[in-house]
A and B are shown apart, each in its own frame.
Chain A
Amino acid sequence: MSEADPEITLETYDKHQIKIPKSIATRSAIINMMIEDTGDVNEVVPLADKSCTLNIMNRVIEYLKKHAEFDNTGADDEVINEFDKEFQEQSDEIIFQTILAANFLDIKNLLELMCKKVADEIKKCKTPDDIRDRFNIRKDYTPEEVEEVKRAHPWIYDKNAK
């Protein structure tokens, strides 16, 4: 890192402090804004969202650091994809929290990456029941409502029925 890259101290939601280089921290649009707001790199940046725990922030920072490295070295897409793929392979809980954190911190490519993971999981499910089982969602429809939703998408439903 260059000399003009001071360390920023982040305070996670569960009150742990993490020091990271400014160049990494500013990859989050929100942290960047907060640093610019105070104008003081020595001030502790509090992360007020529930998702930003030490555990999750460590993962987010790992992602940011790795991608900063990729950008600096001009790594192959293959290498990046491999890292991203591995990064996606986590428990639901971590993926869920990472999505919230990425959304809160406004880190677009991380959010997209994790959303893609969820979408892939949805694609694996053949029926709405599968999806509910997979994501542990309670069905809040009456049979009539199910029919109504089906009716709202006839152009797609007929095709899927084939």
Chain B
Amino acid sequence: MCRAAIRMRLCLEWQDMNTPSRHQWRPRLVPAEEPEPDLAGLLAQVARGDHRAFELVYRQLAGPVYGVIRNVLRDPAQSEEVAQEVLLEVWRAASRFDPDRGSAAAWALTIAHRRAVDRVRAEDACGRRERKAAPGMTPECADAAAAVEASLDRERVRRCLDSLTGLQRESIKLAYCRGYSYPQVAQLLGVALGTVKTRIRDGLIRMRDCLEVDW
């Protein structure tokens, strides 16, 4: 019942965001909750061998890391195995994270996504995996309305996805959420290779600007 109410409030806040006071939305969204400790700072502590800091890092990253991997791999057991590897890699390689080169979340999720994709490609190469997706099918990764509690961040991502053209959106979803290579995406969508490459790039640029990503 309250889902609709929340959504309505999100819509209202979304409109607010287009006014000059848009920076005010974040605190209103996460009202009295304890603020999450800064990941980049925690990673610096982890790099010095701080296990407690790693616990906090785990709590922030486990959900997105597992989600990204699960979306690509589908198989829960395999996803769990790869997610464990990735999170342990975050512990092992924390000293290699450089905050000047991007956010801590992007760093970890880049490792996660690449690991998952590498696993899929290796299996594809061995012919062990039969993966078929109908063009136009909607991977839940990019519109998981059912699974997750309302969050303005997610709502915003969804809205930004909605602002893309159909082909841009489908290409990005198939590549990111399903781990397909761009030639596979081209085949699935029945379009030229060059078209997919440009659609993915244009779509991501539009997403980046829509989300006001700092980079």
Q: Do A and B come from one complex?
A: no
Q: Report which B residues bind A (CB closer than 8 A).
A: none
Q: Report which A residues bind B (CB closer than 8 A).
A: none
